[in-house]
A and B are shown apart, each in its own frame.
Chain A
Amino acid sequence: MTTRVGVVTFPGSLDDRDAQRAVRLAGAEPVALWHRDKDLHQVDAVVLPGGFSYGDYLRCGAISRFSPVMDTIIEQAKLGMPVLGICNGFQVLCESHLLPGALTRNDSLHFICRDQKLRIENAETAWTRDYSAGQEITVPLKNGEGRFVADERVLDALEAEGRIVARYLDVNPNGSYRDIAGITNAAGNVVGLMPHPEHAVEELTGPTTEGLGFFTSVLKQLVNA
């Protein structure tokens, strides 16, 4: 049976087709999910893609977080369904309180699009099992509000519990605290990531193909589960 990975489209989602492509290249079946539809259509995992849902108005992810589909996703995530939020999806996860902290305006105050080097810190989450801890990868980064912030207590806890999934290497592009590029919940099934692994899945269009591991990881997780 093919693994079904849902990709949610909110009004203003932009990288939804790209996420679907990455899911397909990883060997799973992408399933388009619509923000107004509570039904997850029997998917095994969900990707919240990048973009500017609701124009990023009010706060990034703040309006999407209240969409009907998110009610079900929040419920299922708490029951262990793998959920990956990329960029805007990460923001939605923080606004939903599935992940701690918040994402704020880049310290440069500019949108930044670049090939970004990362170090995978935790290779045991549902979305990073195909990497090894300490592995360095390069994937595109593109955001205007990607600066991860949280209070010291939360940051210390994230470090102590090994919940920092990836850190920026060489350059911290947005002023994220402790160079944090991605984090996970305690169970390891919900991951938020600011850079875009779905744009590093083909030689032709990406700087590398090193982003594919996020999507192959979840397949293994589900097959083994």
Chain B
Amino acid sequence: MSLDTVKNAEQTPDAAQPWAELGLKEDEYARIREILGRRPTGAELAMYSVMWSEHCSYKSSKVHLKQFGEKAPKNDAMLVGIGENAGVVDVGQGYAVTFKVESHNHPSYIEPYQGAATGIGGIVRDILAMGARPVAVMDPLRFGAADHPDTRRVLPGIVAGIGGYGNCLGLPNIGGEVVFDSCYQGNPLVNALCVGVMKHEDIHLAKASGPGNKVILYGARTGGDGIGGVSVLASETFDDTKPTKRPAVQVGDPFQEKLLIECTLEIFREDLVAGIQDLGGAGLSCATSELASAGTGGMRIELDTVPLRDHTLSPEEILMSESQERMCAIVEPGKVDRFLEICEKWDVIATVIGEVTDGERLEIFWHGDLVVDVPPRTVAHEGPTYHRPYARPDWQDALQLDAPTAERLARPGTGAELKDALLKVAGSPNQASKAWITDQYDRFVLGNTVLSHPEDSGMIRIDEETNLGVSVATDGNGRYTKLDPYTGAQLALAEAYRNVAAGGAKPLAVSDCLNFGSPEDPDVMWQFAEATRGLADACQVLGTPVTGGNVSLYNQTGEVAIHPTPVVAVLGVIDDVTRRTPIAFGEQGQLLYLLGDTADELGGSAWSQVVHNHLGGLPPKVDLQREKLLGDILIAASRDGMVDAAHDLSDGGLAQALVESCLKGGNGARVVVPEGLDPFVFLFSESAGRAVVAVPRSEELRFNDMCGARGLPATRIGVVDGDALEVQGQFTVTLAELHEAHTGVIEALLA
């Protein structure tokens, strides 16, 4: 069959086209015809179909995501906001930091190793495209039940993929999460975060301007990776000699990506690019249309000049290919030679594939024939918008009424029962040590890692002279969010904010990865609407704007959706990383203070899950002003040397925090239950806005004065002491027993 050129499309207006197979709705196809004034060519149809997909166009979510902009708190630190590859934040001393969290859920279920690996590759290129040197990665992960056979298939592959790619790239992995819950069976969540650092003047944007400027594609050759659906088109355009089935799986080459990073940074240093974009989902379709759309509009591409790995690829397939480790740059003609020279130095293939024109159309040629002629905005930025119906699920009330009261769920009453519950929680897959996983990641490379897992946040030094640093924490609790999506999303933000502050850094900005089920289900859409509203409201109060992120929908098996899981990343800045606060109880004799208020809040708690396999009631209440105050106190205490350890209280409550801080420091603690507080509630409640800190005796007065003056409840609950955790009058558990319960759990299940 002959090439479907624009001319051909004009002459054969009634030719049948596989728009439905490509995932377009009938009215969407009609709109494309209306925009073009004719039927689209095969290549145009391919471009529109992929760019108008949920994944690229955010068509179901964008009416809700708007709030992140509308409600954004005024924040002088924001240099680049939502809409670019990633947001950019001013961290002082001329430095800017960019960070973003993104999902790679479905590919990681199909092929765990490559799915997770290419997830890292994609987010790293996003950061690189902003002009920044990537300096660290993190991976918030969620899996099905830890003892399910499929988790045994998925988890080791994903962990090996993250390590295999990230380690080879030379980026320290400094944090993240690992959560098990049967709701993620068949829908593991593989989110990946990258942080990058640059000087203000190095910020680069994805836009193509300046007619005559060249479009350069560089990096890996283009193969048939990830073009699955588009082969519908291709199958008609070539004979039988090509592979019958195109791979849906992309394979990552971290070595190529490492070269791409070093090569691109050298190109930035010599100021050789006018605009730059990475190639991710939708490959060249996305890069060319977005660059042109954000620029002056006109671009001409000679598609047959694209270096190929597979010479049987059709123009449609080349446009759709998701081959990894590729970038697209806009370069002034006088700088092209130097650009190509640097690429040659790094063994990176680079090819001029087109140029910016003074028109307003994106024109793509195949051996001289025009195969695409579109207004780029209609492809990249003016896709469809849906107002999906949503409604509070009819089961929501019943779920919230099923509260974990003492009558509903038996609570431990005696000291022995409390000890038993503490060991059970500390040894459950969600609360147990994740060292078996995180020890497969390099946390040292680049030599700037100040804090990494299992600390509350990951912290990186960005200037060796001044000790300026940044820290990042990611959090999300699907159980809380299922109980109340509005509050659950706020709790995710509150926890990440608290984690950053606990390390001593000042929270500045947010990136989010919103993992939900099908938007076509009004229940799910309600969860999404509530969670985004909650998050936008909370960001406003905390003064931390959302700078970017990603939405992942359709995470469900049949009719059953995952728990709504907004994962929130908070970025903070610390002027002097040597003042950071670790979680370890490092010195005997230091005084333990519990900051914040503890109420009977067990809905969605770790205890209710581990001991009773129960989910019901309401999640802990959120008091954002209190979170802010707690954050301020933690940061001041760190800066002024008033605390030597701080650990945020979240899942598993105080009990879990004590276990982790004792084990990390190799010191025990003697703790007293404050008067009027039930020992069980004291140990296992998950009330928000709390942290436990270790205060040197010499600082007690000053610390107490500060908390008193600012109005933050601070209760002295004990002392770092001995080699056991003792809750006076209740039980004593040795560090050896804790270690035995807390470690080895994951490998026993999965190794």
Direct contact of A and B (CB under 8 A): yes
Interface residues of A (CB under 8 A from B): 11-12, 14-15, 17-18, 21, 50-52, 54-57, 110-114, 140, 142, 144, 196, 198-199, 202, 204-206
B579 to chain A, nearest CB (A): 11
- B450 part of interface (Cβ distance < 8 Å): yes
- B113 part of interface (Cβ distance < 8 Å): no
Cβ-closest chain B residue relative to A109:
B160
A196 adjacent to B440 (CB under 8 Å): no
Q: Could you mark each residue 435-477 of chain B with 1 if its beta carbon is under 8 Å from any beta carbon of chain A, else 0?
A: 0001111111111111000000000010010000000000000
B167 adjacent to A204 (CB under 8 Å): no
Kindly name the residue among B256, B441, B442, B449 whose own CB sees the greatest number of chain A CB atoms within 10 A.
B442
Kindly name the residue among B170, B450, B461, B577 whose own CB sees the greatest number of chain A CB atoms within 10 A.
B170
Cβ-closest chain A residue relative to B263:
A11
Find B170's partner among A14, A57, A144 (CB 8 Å cutoff).
Answer: A14
Residues of B within 8 A of A140 (CB): 444
Whole-angstrom CA separation of A204 from B464 in the bound complex: 11
B258 adjacent to A114 (CB under 8 Å): no
Kindly name the residue among A15, A18, A52, A204 whose own CB sees the greatest number of chain B CB atoms within 10 A.
A204
Find A204's partner among B168, B169, B254, B578 (CB 8 Å cutoff).
Answer: B578
- B700 part of interface (Cβ distance < 8 Å): no
B444 adjacent to A199 (CB under 8 Å): yes
- B347 part of interface (Cβ distance < 8 Å): yes
Whole-angstrom CA separation of A51 from B461 in the bound complex: 21
- B122 part of interface (Cβ distance < 8 Å): no
List 11 A-B residue pairs with CB atoms under 8 Å apart, sorted by A's residue number.
A52-B168, A55-B168, A55-B253, A111-B164, A111-B442, A113-B440, A113-B441, A144-B167, A199-B447, A204-B450, A204-B577
Q: Could you mark each residue 163-184 of chain B with 1 if its beta carbon is under 8 Å from any beta carbon of chain A, else 0?
A: 1100111100000000000000
Whole-angstrom CA separation of A14 from B603 in the bound complex: 46
B444 adjacent to A52 (CB under 8 Å): no
Find B447's partner among A18, A55, A114, A142 (CB 8 Å cutoff).
Answer: A18
- B255 part of interface (Cβ distance < 8 Å): yes
A113 adjacent to B444 (CB under 8 Å): yes
In the A-B complex, the 9 residue pairs with the smallest Cβ-Cβ separation, listed nearest first, are A55-B255, A14-B170, A18-B447, A52-B168, A199-B444, A140-B444, A111-B163, A111-B440, A142-B442
Cβ-closest chain A residue relative to B441:
A113
- B741 part of interface (Cβ distance < 8 Å): no
Cβ-closest chain A residue relative to B437:
A110
Whole-angstrom CA separation of A142 from B447 in the bound complex: 13
Whole-angstrom CA separation of A51 from B170 in the bound complex: 7
- B346 part of interface (Cβ distance < 8 Å): yes
Q: Quick one: given A114-B439, A204-B450, are A15 and B160 in contact (CB under 8 Å)?
A: no
Cβ-closest chain A residue relative to B435:
A114
Q: Quick one: given A55-B255, A110-B160, A113-B439, are A205 and B168 in contact (CB under 8 Å)?
A: no
Residues of A within 8 A of B251 (CB): none
Residues of A within 8 A of B443 (CB): 113
A18 adjacent to B445 (CB under 8 Å): yes
Whole-angstrom CA separation of A14 from B257 in the bound complex: 12
- B542 part of interface (Cβ distance < 8 Å): no
Q: Quick one: given A12-B168, A14-B170, A204-B461, are A52 and B255 in contact (CB under 8 Å)?
A: yes
Residues of B within 8 A of A142 (CB): 167, 442, 444-445
Residues of A within 8 A of B346 (CB): 11
Residues of A within 8 A of B168 (CB): 12, 14, 52, 55-56
- B65 part of interface (Cβ distance < 8 Å): no
- B267 part of interface (Cβ distance < 8 Å): no
Cβ-closest chain A residue relative to B348:
A11
Q: How many residues of B contact A (CB 8 A)?
A: 32
Find B255's partner among A50, A57, A204 (CB 8 Å cutoff).
Answer: A57
Cβ-closest chain B residue relative to A21:
B447
A86 to chain B, nearest CB (A): 12
Whole-angstrom CA separation of A123 from B160 in the bound complex: 37
Residues of B within 8 A of A144 (CB): 167
- B259 part of interface (Cβ distance < 8 Å): yes
Cβ-closest chain A residue relative to B259:
A11
Whole-angstrom CA separation of A111 from B255 in the bound complex: 17
Whole-angstrom CA separation of A11 from B254 in the bound complex: 12
- In chain B between 240 and 263, which residues have their CB closer than 8 angstroms to a CB of chain A? 253-256, 258-259
Whole-angstrom CA separation of A199 from B347 in the bound complex: 29
B440 adjacent to A110 (CB under 8 Å): yes
Q: Quick one: given A57-B255, A110-B440, A205-B461, are A52 and B167 in contact (CB under 8 Å)?
A: yes
Find A205's partner among B164, B170, B449 (CB 8 Å cutoff).
Answer: B449
Q: Quick one: given A112-B439, A113-B439, A204-B461, are A12 and B258 in contact (CB under 8 Å)?
A: yes
Residues of A within 8 A of B464 (CB): 21
Residues of B within 8 A of A55 (CB): 168, 253-256, 258
A142 to chain B, nearest CB (A): 5
Cβ-closest chain B residue relative to A201:
B447
Residues of A within 8 A of B445 (CB): 14-15, 18, 50, 142
Residues of A within 8 A of B170 (CB): 14-15, 51-52
Residues of A within 8 A of B164 (CB): 111
Q: Could you mark each residue 564-582 of chain B with 1 if its beta carbon is under 8 Å from any beta carbon of chain A, else 0?
A: 0000000000000110000
Whole-angstrom CA separation of A114 from B438 in the bound complex: 10
Q: Quick one: given A18-B447, A56-B168, are A113 and B442 in contact (CB under 8 Å)?
A: yes
Residues of A within 8 A of B253 (CB): 55
Cβ-closest chain B residue relative to A139:
B444
Whole-angstrom CA separation of A118 from B200 in the bound complex: 43
B138 to chain A, nearest CB (A): 15
B302 to chain A, nearest CB (A): 29
B439 adjacent to A205 (CB under 8 Å): no
Given A18-B446, A113-B441, 15 further pairs, Cβ under 8 A: A11-B255, A11-B258, A11-B346, A11-B347, A14-B170, A17-B447, A55-B258, A111-B160, A111-B441, A113-B438, A114-B439, A140-B444, A142-B167, A202-B447, A204-B578
Residues of A within 8 A of B578 (CB): 204
Whole-angstrom CA separation of A14 from B255 in the bound complex: 11
A185 to chain B, nearest CB (A): 27
Q: Quick one: given A11-B255, A204-B461, A204-B577, are A17 and B446 in contact (CB under 8 Å)?
A: yes
Whole-angstrom CA separation of A55 from B448 in the bound complex: 23
Residues of A within 8 A of B444 (CB): 18, 113, 140, 142, 196, 199, 205-206
B280 to chain A, nearest CB (A): 21
B448 adjacent to A205 (CB under 8 Å): yes
Residues of A within 8 A of B441 (CB): 111, 113
B664 to chain A, nearest CB (A): 13
Whole-angstrom CA separation of A61 from B496 in the bound complex: 41
Residues of B within 8 A of A11 (CB): 255, 258-259, 346-347
Whole-angstrom CA separation of A218 from B286 in the bound complex: 53
Residues of B within 8 A of A56 (CB): 168, 255
Kindly name the residue among A111, A112, A142, A196 whose own CB sees the greatest number of chain B CB atoms within 10 A.
A111
A198 adjacent to B167 (CB under 8 Å): no
Cβ-closest chain A residue relative to B156:
A110
Whole-angstrom CA separation of A52 from B254 in the bound complex: 9
Cβ-closest chain A residue relative to B347:
A11
Whole-angstrom CA separation of A51 from B167 in the bound complex: 8
B448 adjacent to A54 (CB under 8 Å): no
Residues of B within 8 A of A15 (CB): 170, 445, 447
A176 to chain B, nearest CB (A): 17
Whole-angstrom CA separation of A154 from B159 in the bound complex: 36
A22 to chain B, nearest CB (A): 8
Residues of B within 8 A of A196 (CB): 444
Residues of A within 8 A of B254 (CB): 52, 55
- In chain B between 145 and 162, which residues have their CB closer than 8 angstroms to a CB of chain A? 160
Whole-angstrom CA separation of A17 from B135 in the bound complex: 13
Residues of B within 8 A of A18 (CB): 444-447
Whole-angstrom CA separation of A191 from B556 in the bound complex: 54
Cβ-closest chain B residue relative to A173:
B439
Residues of B within 8 A of A50 (CB): 445
Residues of B within 8 A of A54 (CB): 255
Whole-angstrom CA separation of A111 from B438 in the bound complex: 10
Kindly name the residue among A12, A56, A198, A206 whose own CB sees the greatest number of chain B CB atoms within 10 A.
A12
Q: Could you mark each residue 409-449 of chain B with 1 if its beta carbon is under 8 Å from any beta carbon of chain A, else 0?
A: 00000000000000000000000000000111111111111
